[in-house]
Amino acid sequence: MRLITGCYFGIATGLVAMASLEGMLVSVQNEFVLSVDDLNVLVLVFAAGSLLILFAAGALVDRLGSRTVLTAGAAIVTVGAVTVALAGDFGWLVAGRVAGGIGGTSMSVACLALINATVTADRERAYVFGVFAAVIGVVAAVSPVFGGVIARDLTWRLVPVGWILVAAAAVALVGGASLSGREEHGRREFVTPVSAGVVLSATCLAALAAKPAAPLAAVALAVAVLALVVLVRYAGRLRSRGVRPTLDVSLFRTPGAGWLMAALLTVGFVNLFFYVNLFLQYRVGMTAPQAAALLIVPQVAGILGGLAGGWVSARIGSQVTTAVALGVGCVAALGFLTLSTGSATAQLIVLAAIFASAGGCIVGTLTKAFLDCADVDASGAAASWRQAGWSVGATLGGVASGAVVLGYFSATWSASLRDAGVPAPTADWAAEAVRSGLPLSEVAASPLLQGVPAREAVQGFVGLAQAQVDTLRLVAVLAAVAYTVSLAFVLAAMWRRRLAGHG
């Protein structure tokens, strides 16, 4: 029990370091006079550092052992936290965030591998991964609030202390626990796992920076292509000499593993919860704290869904439970189509809670189903692939779905303004300005709005409410499609395993 609790703390460390930034952003921006692009960099570099170390961390776990990598990751997190807390300029903030991403991901991979290697009874694994999903939900709900309260009432420079405390708790709990199973292997080269991490990191960075920083995106994409060439050529050279590359893909020889990886990539493609938050603020008119308080309901539902998923999968299996949860989530997403401009906020929250409960369940059961495909002595590699699938799918999916959704909003409201007599160029500008976050009052006061009809149309929010509702409906449809595709992949995995005689 102590070992598993320590693993939960280790998994939570990176999540706390990532999510608590949200609560301290305003304070950091004010102190260092940062632009929106600068704040975006602070978010991007954490993700880039996380993906960069992903496969190398898994290889190190399988070679050196989980506890060694966990301790090293905690040390890196501590260095990153101290760097952020004492930062005197933007450069040191960036360096601290990169270190936090590298250390937090190393700890997460080590702890997932440790769970996979030590908890072998299927029923017990189901419960453990159910709690794992609930822990992620709790951390996602609490961390931004923690960061915001500390930054507001004390100073944002104390927020990183929380990262150190969580990391230290993980090391203390895991360090004194017994560990069964052989973890050490003789793999020596790290060109393949490092280059694979560079491919993931640079690709996601290119996608995230495509609009705000096109030159950076171009450079990142070039780096990704170069790293991919290095990976393919070096791995090919090793195989020609009869040497097995350190980047372990043996997991995918297990029947159904490839299909489950595809499910991991697609399930988080659309962040419906994020758009519900925006809807509450921009359509319902809530402040950010008010919206966060109301969204506690679906967050609690997600936590309970994770726990319930563990209980159910212990009885009917993780793949079947995942399939059922994906179906429930798909139906819940389609329920958003019943929303209208006159719908009560309670209806939105109920739908979000049902969807969140299904999502919370999927986090644990799909993770277990995928890790079940791995041999115990390849747990590090399996944990890396799991993290890669979830992170890359959410990042690339978020960029792609965001472009579609926000583009649809701009086009829809622009069309409504044109119908109200606003000239097309002005309508397009106003819609794009609101999409970019410019307050309506500033848009309406702009000298670009020539003439009374145009100004009145914007000030009167002509067609805005309907555009916002239609946009949320589109998000829901995209989420339902993502869940349906993931469901097809999970069913394919079940069919493949049945053909192979695995039940």
The amino acid present at 146, given as its one-letter code, is F
Contacts of 412 (CB under 8 A, 6+ apart): 463, 466, 467, 470, 471
Per the CB < 8 A criterion, the answer to whether 431 and 414 are in contact is: yes
Q: How far is CA 234 from CA 196, 220, 228, 229, in A?
A: 11, 21, 10, 8
pLDDT of residue 183: 43
Closest CA to 417 of 440, 447, 438, 436: 440
DSSP 192-236: HHHHHHHHHHHHHHHHHHTTT-HHHHHHHHHHHHHHHHHHHHHHH
pLDDT of residue 343: 85
Per the CB < 8 A criterion, the answer to whether 32 and 89 are in contact is: yes
CA distance linking residue 12 with residue 17, whole number of Å: 9
Per the CB < 8 A criterion, the answer to whether 262 and 74 are in contact is: no
Give pTM, 2 decimals.
Answer: 0.85
DSSP 235-249: HHHHHHTTPPPSS--
Closest CA to 247 of 191, 183, 198: 191
Per the CB < 8 A criterion, the answer to whether 129 and 123 are in contact is: no
pLDDT of residue 354: 94
pLDDT of residue 453: 60
- Helices and strands of the chain, counted as H and E runs: 20, 0
Per the CB < 8 A criterion, the answer to whether 31 and 92 are in contact is: no
pLDDT of residue 184: 43
Round to the nearest angstrom and report the end-to-end CA distance of the chain: 30
Per-residue pLDDT of the chain (503 residues; tens, 9 = 90+): 788 888 899 999 988 888 888 778 778 878 887 765 677 677 778 887 888 888 888 888 888 888 888 999 999 999 999 999 998 888 898 899 989 999 999 999 999 888 888 888 888 889 999 998 999 888 888 888 888 888 888 888 999 999 999 999 998 888 755 444 344 444 468 889 999 999 988 888 888 777 767 788 899 899 999 999 999 999 899 888 888 888 888 888 899 999 999 999 999 888 888 888 878 877 666 766 677 778 889 989 999 999 999 999 999 999 999 999 999 999 999 999 998 888 888 999 999 999 999 999 999 999 999 998 888 777 888 888 998 888 888 888 888 888 888 888 888 878 877 777 777 887 787 777 776 666 666 776 777 665 656 555 555 555 677 888 888 999 999 999 999 999 999 999 999 988 877 65
